[in-house]
Amino acid sequence: MQDVRVIDVPKLSKRPDVLTAGFPCQPFSNAGSRRGVEDSSGTLYQTALAFVRDLKPRSVVFENVRGLLSFGNGEKLLIQEISEKLDALGYNVVFSLIDASRHHVPQKRLRVFIVGIERTKTTGVFSFPYPVDRVDLSIKHTIMDLNNKVQNQNELMQLNPQAIQLGCLVPEGGSWKDIPYEKLPERLKRIRDDMRRYRSPNFYRRYHRDEIAGTITAAFKPENAGVWHPIEKRIYSVREIARIQTFPDWFNFLGRTIKSKYQQIGNAVPPRLAYEMAIQIKAVLVGANLRGETECLTFEQFINSGKPLRARDRDVIFSHK
Sign of CA dihedral 212, 215, 219, 221: negative
With b meaning 16 or more CB within 10 Å and e meaning fewer, what string describes 34-55? eebbebebbbbbebbbebbeee
Q: Describe the crossing of helices 44-55 and 78-88 by its angle, rounded to 10 degrees.
A: 10
Cβ–Cβ under 8 Å, residues 51 and 21: yes
Length of the chain: 321
The β-bridge relationship of strands 18-21 and 59-65 is parallel
Backbone angles phi, psi at 103, to 5 degrees: -135, 45
Residue among 19, 25, 115, 139 flagged as catalytic = 25
How far is it, in rounded angstroms, from Cα 232 to Cα 261?
A: 21
Distances in whole angstroms, Cα of residue 247 to Cα of each of 103, 134, 255, 270: 14, 18, 16, 7
Residue 25 bears catalytic tag: yes
Which residues are tagged catalytic?
A: 25
